[in-house]
Amino acid sequence: MLEQEALADPDPVYDLKGLNCPLPVLKAKKRLAAMRPGSRLWLETTDPLAVIDIPAFCSDAGHQLIETAAVSGGHRFLVERGETAEILR
């Protein structure tokens, strides 16, 4: 039954394709700040610097980078919002 729930309620995807540094991180920060701790969000980017910026952002802000994948034209990152993540100011 747990497997069915996972398929029925996939993690949301935030399309950040076409945006360049620093916009993917700034938009991800704002979106994650509005989510509950423990929630997960896929970030999809085409910015080549995202492979450096997104992991650094997660580490600095207290989020967990769960998965990173190279996809055609860019990258996908699965981020879990941290319990004590920095609040957007």
Q: Which of these is catalytic: 21, 26, 65, 78?
A: 21
CA distance 50 to 30: 16
Residue 58 annotated to the active site: no
CA distance 17 to 48: 11
CA distance 53 to 61: 12
CA distance 6 to 27: 26
Residues assigned a catalytic role: 21
